[in-house]
Structure 1
């Protein structure tokens, strides 16, 4: 029976190719589908097929549909992956990265110079995300006391960054809209 199904496949191949190419819109993909068909026919060597021509057309149509579905899924997956990638502007350039690192060192230095309670309140609120009421309970002060500690902590950090910007000759300025200012 294998010789019969193989012979019918070879005789019908031009029509099968046209059918699959029409469904996929691409002759190269159609050739790949017919190659897959050839491998499947080889696996069916010992099984009788009642209507071999109809069987071959059904296999070709099913493989074309499978390939089209796989291509759609692959395209959707690739699109989602590409959409999740950062844009070129989202990736910091070397200069912005160096400025950010220098500013972070200044922030760490400012926190290290703060009184213990102030630094603790800032870390608990900003880093650990604890509510001010929990911080107040832990430190044994009121919520407004925590708010005042945080305000003074922010002011110390702001002042340290501003002083650093002045000391560096205005190479960068905290809060500037257009990025780092250039000293000219």
Structure 2
């Protein structure tokens, strides 16, 4: 069967179920609709439609990953907005600046996707907050050597991601 028909069949048979499942997870019909569409786009991009044995298990796994990314991105955005709220009004950024920062946060989040959370955290503490490695080790409760290894891993990961980009 050709890939377009496989996707159409997968969509027809599972879209309502996936959207309902996502609605229960996010409690927002618009977010659920967006995540459902993104899930089917990922399934299409994966070019593995003919190999899917359990469609709902596959779709829920993809959707769960997208859901985690959404929550992680919102948590980052909220932390940024909380920091903005503490600034005096004279230093409040424009709507354009906020949009640029959100884009940068999403780009960083995508760049670090796939790394363990401790590696991401060490990288963000070092690069965004300017923390020295020893302070990161103390905050994370790991050795200095572990922080050095984590930072090296994050840098190599970022380099490999940017090398793959067009």
TM-score when scaled to structure 1?
0.42
Larger helix fraction of residues: 2
TM-score when scaled to structure 2?
0.46
